A and B are shown apart, each in its own frame.
Chain A
Amino acid sequence: MRDTPFPAPLGSSGRAPEGGRGNRSAVLDVRGVVKAFGEHVVLRGVDLAVAEHQVVALIGGSGSGKSTLLRCAALLETVDDGQVLLDGEDVTDPRVDADAVRRRLGVVFQAYNLFPHLSVLDNVTLAPTVVHGRSRADARDEAQALLARIGLADKAAEYPDRLSGGQQQRVAIVRALAVHPRVLLLDEITSALDPELVGEVLSVVREVAAQGMTILMATHEMGFARQVADTVAFLDGGVVLEAGPPAQVLGEPVEPRTRQFLSRVIDAGRL
């Protein structure tokens, strides 16, 4: 199990020392991002930085804009104001080739979004071969190793609809990792799963994080955020209301709105 590591982010040499927080320059830097859908303003100026090897967890009520923020960062939506910087480059500039930017990102969606007409293996090797020009054999070897890593080596030839939700989501994570992204964006990846399947997906994320992947994730799993995240950011009313180490934000929140949100989560038995 341990012999094949998950791919580390490009341009890095493995796990950063001491949790990765500090003065490192941000891989992903969201500055004053505003996004509205018609009259409905979802993001009112969000500032958030994700440093190299750091895991940032976005929490907040449903409709607070977590997914919208991730979609803006993944260039699946155009921002109405502000900037998203990837390695210091303003990727919200319309002159930037958005396809080239997306090649450097890995995105995992709530509903897995595997391609149902392609086998598990083809789902994983698609981007490496078509987008990154790697040889089929090369991409297949790595995909097989990654699938073995998540315990799904025997499912390579299966089609996604023959897999459980947890298995599909693990494949989706591997599909995103196969392009060696600079940053992994996880959009509530366990929200569509039965409770018993959440653990197997989170343990994959935990390992990926331990190997130094830079991650921005929207999540409702507070316990997981507390364990894995370096920073927890509470999104409310279209802004990051409070951000800091998980022990502080989840343990001793300053803002009343954060306390209110967390007490509701506790009432629901999710913390």
Chain B
Amino acid sequence: MAVRRRRRPRPVLTTAPQAADLPAPSDLELSRQAWRRSRSRRSTLVALGSTLLFAVVAYLAVTRSPGWPRVQTTFFSPSVALDSLPEIARGLLVNLQVLLVGGFLVLVFGLGVALLRTLRGPAFAPLRIVATGYVDLFRGMPLIIVLYLVGFGVPALRLQGVPTSPFVLGTAAIVLVYSAYVAEVFRAGIESVHPSQRAAARSLGLTHRQSMRIVVLPQALRTVTPALLNDFVALQKDVGLISVLGAIDAVRSAQILVGQSFNFTPYVVAGLLFVLLAIPSARIADAVSARARRRQQSGGLL
């Protein structure tokens, strides 16, 4: 490809001009600043107080409840948590594998389906209809049902060479469902690129494919990155659903441990591990959306 990606210089964003460049603020501005400071101090105090009050009330309500001692030992037992951690962490590695392999495949298939849906012309009608039908079907069907159908239905066919491992089939089911979602995200991104961009590309003599690849998709991807990261966070926890097919992942390991000890703490441990997994991605997603917002409107009141 002829177009080399170059690092875009980061725009210098300043909320207010440097003080050194400005004359001393007028009394009017000083009084405005003082007013804003006092308001923000007040609202910080109100927020802090109400949060604290709620925390205390919630804490008392839970710990004073009649069943609390029992709940504490069956759900929040530190010793059980510590014992179950290695096993569940091992299971989480399986989830991570599904996440990485599945995430990659979802991007590829999602983009493929989106491109099929944006094809114009009667010659492509069959492809378009198949792609639309696929999206309608798998966006509408609950993931757990797709997991059952793929995980138990495909092996029942007893076809030669078709894998029967719950890991592979579970990943396939997740990819089927998520690709349908992600295809719609990609399609929205492609359609968000103004038609004039396509007109400019085509008027330079670029073919449909060239203008898609060089002009439309790079801009579309930039637009949809926050939405894609959000779907990635959702995918991170949904990979735990492959446990219903019997794959020994974090959820399944926890389930086995619960069955052995009649203590539910392993579930809490598994849940917390998933949360820990999700937090970095969620922060990245936030940062990316914030950056996109800044790029669109630097500053402003709203």
Contact = CB atoms under 8 A, between A and B. Distances in A.
A76 B197 contact: no
B3 A99 contact: no
A102 B3 contact: no
Given A126-B3, A126-B214, A131-B210, A113 B199 contact: yes
A136 B205 contact: no
Contacts of A118: 3
B2 A119 contact: no
Contacts of A136: 2
Contacts of B207: 99
Interface string A103-135: 111110101011111110010011101111000
A157 interface: yes
Given A111-B196, A115-B197, 20 more contacts: A76-B202, A76-B203, A99-B205, A103-B205, A105-B203, A107-B200, A109-B199, A113-B197, A113-B200, A117-B219, A119-B6, A122-B3, A126-B3, A126-B214, A130-B206, A130-B214, A131-B204, A157-B6, A176-B204, A179-B204
B196 A115 contact: no
Interface string B179-220: 000000000000000001101111111110010001100110
Contacts of A129: 2
22 contacts: A76-B199, A76-B202, A99-B202, A102-B202, A102-B203, A102-B205, A107-B204, A113-B196, A113-B199, A114-B200, A115-B197, A118-B3, A125-B2, A126-B2, A126-B204, A126-B206, A127-B206, A130-B3, A136-B2, A157-B6, A159-B9, A179-B204
B37 interface: no
Contacts of B222: 117
**Lowest 6 CB-CB distances: which A-B pairs, in order?**
A103-B205, A129-B2, A113-B200, A127-B204, A107-B203, A131-B205
Interface of A: 71, 74, 76, 99-100, 102-107, 109, 111, 113-119, 122, 125-127, 129-132, 136, 157, 159, 175-176, 179
A159 B9 CA distance: 9
Interface in B215-251: 215, 218-219, 222
B158 interface: no
Most chain B CB within a 10 A radius of its CB, from A99, A157, A175: A99
Contacts of B202: 76, 99, 102
B4 interface: yes
- Size bracket, chain B contacts: 20 to 34
A130 to B, nearest CB: 5
B41 interface: no
B122 to A, nearest CB: 13
A145 B254 CA distance: 68
A102 B196 contact: no
A114 B201 CA distance: 9
B8 interface: yes
Contacts of B204: 102-103, 107, 126-127, 131, 175-176, 179
A117 B2 contact: no
Contacts of A74: 203
Contacts of A109: 196, 199-200
A179 B2 contact: no
A139 to B, nearest CB: 8
A109 B195 CA distance: 12
B95 to A, nearest CB: 35
A109 B204 CA distance: 12
Most chain B CB within a 10 A radius of its CB, from A116, A136, A159: A116
A95 to B, nearest CB: 15
Contacts of A119: 6
Most chain B CB within a 10 A radius of its CB, from A71, A104, A105, A126: A126
A71 B207 CA distance: 17
A106 B200 CA distance: 10
B203 A117 contact: no
B205 A115 contact: no
Given A115-B215, A119-B6, A122-B4, A127 B205 contact: yes
Contacts of B2: 125-126, 129-130, 136
